[in-house]
Amino acid sequence: MITLVLGGTRSGKSEVAESLAAAIPGGPVTYVATGAATDDDMAARIAAHRARRPASWTTVEAGADLPAALGPLPAAGVVVVDSLGTWVAAGAELAPDVDGLCAALRAREGDTIVVSDEVGLGVHATTDVGLRFADALGELNRAVADIAERVLLVVAGRVLPLERATATHPRTS
**Residue 6 near residue 118, CB atoms below 8 Å:** yes
Q: According to the model, what pLDDT value does residue 172 have?
A: 52
**Residue 49 known to be catalytic:** yes
Give the pLDDT confidence score for residue 72 in this predicted structure. 83
Looking at residue 97, its pLDDT comes to 96
pLDDT at 173: 46
Position 94 scores a pLDDT of: 94
Which stretches of the chain score pLDDT less than 70?
Answer: 167-173
On whether the pTM is more than 0.85, the answer is yes
b/e 2-23 (16+ beta carbons within 10 angstroms → b): bbbbbbbeebbbbbbbbebbee
φ, ψ at 84 (rounded to 5°): -70, -30
Candidates 6, 13, 16, 49; catalytic one: 49
